[in-house]
Amino acid sequence: MSRATWNLIVVLALFSSFVIAQTSPAPPPPIITLDEAIRRAQQNSVEFGAARTANGTANASITIARSAILPNVKGEAQYLYTQGTGTPSTAFPGGTPIFIANNAVHEYIGQANVHQDLSLALAYDYRRTQADARVAKARLEIAKRGLAVVVVRRFYGLAVAQRKLATSQSAREEAQHFLKVSEELEAGGEVAHSDVIKAQIEANDKQRAFQEAELAVENARLDLALLLFKDFNQNFSIADDLSTPTPLPTMDELAVQARKSNPDLAAALAARQSADYEVRSARSEYLPALGFDYWYGLDSTRVGWRIDGIRNVGYAAAATLTVPVWNWGATHAHVQQAELARRQAQLELTTAQKTLLAQIQSLYAEARVSLSELDSLRQSAALTADSLRLTEARYRGGEATVLEVVDAQNTLTLSRNAYDDGELRYRVALANLQTLTGTLNP
């Protein structure tokens, strides 16, 4: 095969793939459910990521604090040189050292060291880091549930905006239809020209309202897209399950769940425990501390396992008792700081308990009222649709005025939008209750 033939085949293959790419239909946008939206938001939220980082850091602090109360092993190798007199002796083959900083002119050290600190302060610090980790975990849960509320609000906010856009489009078409009806009746001498003017004004209003509804959908889509995607992507649609029935648990069930799994209460309780361990750690500074070291290895003027038939490696041990005597009141001040922090933590715990009870009653009342209003709003939307149909029929028969028709049109739009807002209100109320209990799935 000649080179020219091969080049022609390559060009034809590239052209064919280009034609296929241009003619093949674009993939449909993904349909995102509420659960997937929450999962995507958790991956992209800066605030939730910060809480997750803080939780991971707190868990790592537990390992660090635990290592302080457990024996630590390390190895060291050193060569120490000290200026000598230059006169060898039996004890100092390299000469007697002039300075007393080291044991010989040439000193070689290679040994392992086991170190252990025994102190109540270290034990209490370890317990405190465990409590701090529980605080971080509770705050991560707070961030998770708070983010879920934001996603629910924006997710169903987009759904409501799309519904209002459909309502606005229907209202615009109805207004244009009524304008044609009024023009036909005016041509037949059945109504005055003022009716046509009023119908035209109403059609113009509905056109502007439709444009505003389109803008609201675009803004709602942007707000949700900022939570869901790492890049700037608006090519998606949502699964509108706003009308799916979601039952409301009883008040007693919610109260029990909130006491068991409320993250604000858990964070306040863990913070109170952390402050208590801090007080104990500060008070333990009045007590002595014990340290223990064990060395095994080489510390000699020559390197070797055996030198002149004598084993050149060995071990040494040391125990140190540190007794606090005087530090200008620093320990007392530390204890005072810890006790002040503990009183503040206790106050925050008490406030969290009271706030939880108040929030349960308030948010439950909001959810209960918004749920009870849904049936009324649904009925009103259906009745206003019948009212508009009957009013237009009466207008055709000369029994109703143009103002009555316009009023019926506006009432239908308002009632439909009110019903959609009512469903959004109930879903957000459920999401807010979920921040207290963690068990609802809005």
Average pLDDT on 101-118 reads 86
pLDDT at site 235:
87
> Which range has the worst mean pLDDT, 35-44, 151-160, 256-265, 313-322?
256-265
Domain spans in the chain, listed from the N-terminal domain onward: 37-68+139-283+348-437
This prediction has a pTM of 0.81
Cα of first residue to Cα of last residue in the chain, in angstroms, is 67
Closest by CA to 366, choosing from 436, 296, 274, is 436
- Quick count: other Cβ atoms within 10 Å of Cβ 325? 5
Q: What is the pLDDT of residues 314-336, one digit of tens each?
A: 999 999 999 999 999 999 999 99
pLDDT at site 333:
96
Q: What is the pLDDT of residues 6-26, one digit of tens each?
A: 555 555 555 555 544 455 556
Average pLDDT on 136-159 reads 95
* CA-atom Rg of the chain in angstroms: 39
Q: What is the pLDDT of residues 212-255, one digit of tens each?
A: 999 999 999 999 999 999 888 888 999 998 888 788 888 888 88
Tell the CATH topology of 37-68+139-283+348-437: Outer membrane efflux proteins (OEP) (1.20.1600)
pLDDT at site 102:
76
- Quick count: other Cβ atoms within 10 Å of Cβ 123? 17
Only one residue has tokens 């040189």, namely: 81
Q: What is the pLDDT of residues 243-266, one digit of tens each?
A: 887 888 888 888 888 888 899 999
**What type of residue sits at position 226?**
L
Closest by CA to 172, choosing from 130, 116, 119, 214, is 214
Contacts of 330 (CB under 8 A, 6+ apart): none
